[in-house]
Amino acid sequence: MAPPPSTQWLLQIVWLLLLAIPIACVAWTVTHEEVFREPREYCAERSRNARSLPARKFFYLFTCEYCFSHYVTAFFLILTRYRLLLDDWRGYLIAFFALVAIANVYMSSFGRLRQEVKSEKLEAEKKEKELGEPAVVPATSLAAAARPAEGAVRERRELARTSKD
């Protein structure tokens, strides 16, 4: 499927919103997730201790989701030939910055959501320790949606019984 021409602006907006999703996923995964921890730690160390400024900046790119999203966006623009508003080189330029902006909105939203879920989980664990009984995590959190609180409580009780024996 070819990218939409500049005359189909609504379809271009849909492409913009959809194309930013894999850009955000790739940039977030490389810069935050455990699967890339070792290379990211190496790059972080090199970005602090490299002798030359270009080397420090190059290695920093792999630790910053905003910076890395520019390179991922360039890759996806080459892959899809997506242009925004104009059908020439200016369309690529506009698409480049628009995709980076939308991808970073997605990553910021995801980061806040993860932080909120982690905060709710910590509050529930704190209440559980204070009250001496299992606390129920609100259903608004992803953890509760993925694993109901009752099942988790039962598992903890069974684990406690088996460890005492």
How does pLDDT run across 12-41, given as a tens digit for each residue?
999 999 999 999 999 999 998 889 999 999
Contact 48, 60 (CB under 8 A): no
Q: Give the mean model confidence (pLDDT) for residues 99-114.
A: 94
Mean pLDDT of 48-52: 92
Residue 19: inside a domain: yes
Asked if 134 and 128 touch (Cβ cutoff 8 Å), the reply is yes
* φ and ψ of 134, to 5 deg: -65, 135
Does the residue 26 lie in any domain?
A: yes
CA angle at residue 116 from 39 to 136, to 5 degrees?
120
pTM, rounded to two decimals: 0.69
Q: Does residue 14 fall inside a structural domain?
A: yes
Residue 108 belongs to some domain of the structure: yes
**63 lies in some domain:** yes
Q: Which of the four pLDDT bands, split at 50, 70 and 90, describes residue 105?
A: very high
Give the pLDDT band (50/70/90) at residue 6.
confident
Across the range 99-128, mean pLDDT stands at 92
Confidence bin at 133 (pLDDT 50/70/90): low
Which sign does the torsion angle of CA 14, 19, 25, 28 carry?
Answer: negative
Q: pLDDT band for position 138 (50/70/90)? A: low
Number of domains in the chain: 1
Residue 101 domain-assigned (yes or no)? yes
> What does the pLDDT average to over 116-124?
90
CA separation, residue 123 to residues 7, 82, 119, 120, 142 (Å) = 51, 45, 6, 5, 15
Q: State the pLDDT at residue 38.
A: 93
In a domain, 147, yes or no: no
Note down the domain range covering 29: 9-114
Q: Residue 14 has what DSSP assignment?
A: H
- The C-alpha atoms of residue 76 and residue 161 are separated, in whole angstroms, by 53
Beta-carbon count within 10 A of 146 CB: 8
Res. 131 pLDDT band, cuts 50 70 90: confident
Report yes or no on 160 lying in a domain. no
